[in-house]
Chain A
Amino acid sequence: MKATVLVRPKEGILDPQGQAIEQSLRKLGFDVEHARVGRVVDFDVEASSADEARERVNEMCRQLLANPLIESYEVEVHE
């Protein structure tokens, strides 16, 4: 199964990278607000069902891929 993990800075956490990107987009004339920068991790995972894969990937997020103090995450699993 293919898995995609999206890791984002939690709401309320200062994200200077997002701010810098937002300012740059504004300089280009794009009217944007609240830019936030996260991270994408793609990988293949062995599992017999999508549910099992999702459970496993959630555990990976808790243990390593995200730091729960500052980051939230979303997991997508597809065949």
Chain B
Amino acid sequence: MNPRVAVIQFPGSNDDRDAVWALRALGADAMLVWHAESELPEGTGAVVLPGGFSYGDYLRCGAIARFAPIMDAVTRFAAGGGFVLGICNGFQILCEAGLLPGVLRPNASLSFICRDVALRVERNDTPFTSRCEPGQRLVIPIKHHDGAWFAPPELLEELESRGQILLRYEENPNGAVGDVAGVTNEGGNVMGLMPHPEHAVDPLLGSGDGALILASLLDAARERASAAAVLLA
């Protein structure tokens, strides 16, 4: 069964169609969902918040998007254990919405950075990294101006001890504390990352490593759907 993935389209999203393309290439029934909708499509197995500049990055990146009508449905979906992946601006939105810890700040260099970076997978017993080996090195591009993830020291320590840091930069490109490139919520069903896995699903474009993250998500959505079906039967 092909898991249904809702890719939320905000005004100013610009990686929404790339995300749909990449997810479909990996076998998902991926569809765009407009931010003004109040419900996710029936049978949604995962939600992706794509990259871009939702609402022009006004106030702070992601700060306005959390008021989009669809975000209530996304929050309910996450509260029920549904898998939610935020990429770049999607990560910023999830942090501002309180679904993920921390916040994204302007890069220490103040420049927009657009290049491949190397990442280390901290653990693979998660819905977002199950196709990776622990410690595996992934090459995935970043393209952001506000990608320096920040959490106060005591919060970072808590997240580290609970294993919520999933991806770290091999060489820190943006000033993120703890070299953090990707984190999860406490429940482990919501993840955000600054690198763009949807831009790295075909070796022809430099790397296919992003497919490991997206395919892990699809595996998890598939498993959850079949577990639910067994429960209903």
Contacts and interface: CB of A to CB of B under 8 A. Distances in A.
Interface of A: 13-14, 16-17, 20, 64-65, 67, 69-70
Nearest to B109: A16
B152 A16 contact: no
Contacts of A14: 105, 108, 148, 175
Contacts of A65: 59
B60 interface: yes
6 contacts: A13-B105, A14-B108, A16-B110, A67-B103, A69-B103, A70-B150
Interface residues of B, number: 18
A67 B63 CA distance: 9
A14 B107 CA distance: 10
A16 B146 CA distance: 11
A65 B63 CA distance: 9
Contacts of B105: 13-14, 70
B109 A67 contact: no
Contacts of B148: 14
Interface string B100-132: 001101111110000000000000000000000
A17 B150 contact: no
A64 B103 contact: no
A24 B109 CA distance: 15
Given A64-B59, A64-B63, A70 B106 contact: no
A35 to B, nearest CB: 13
Contacts of A20: 110
Given A14-B175, A64-B63, A69 B110 contact: no
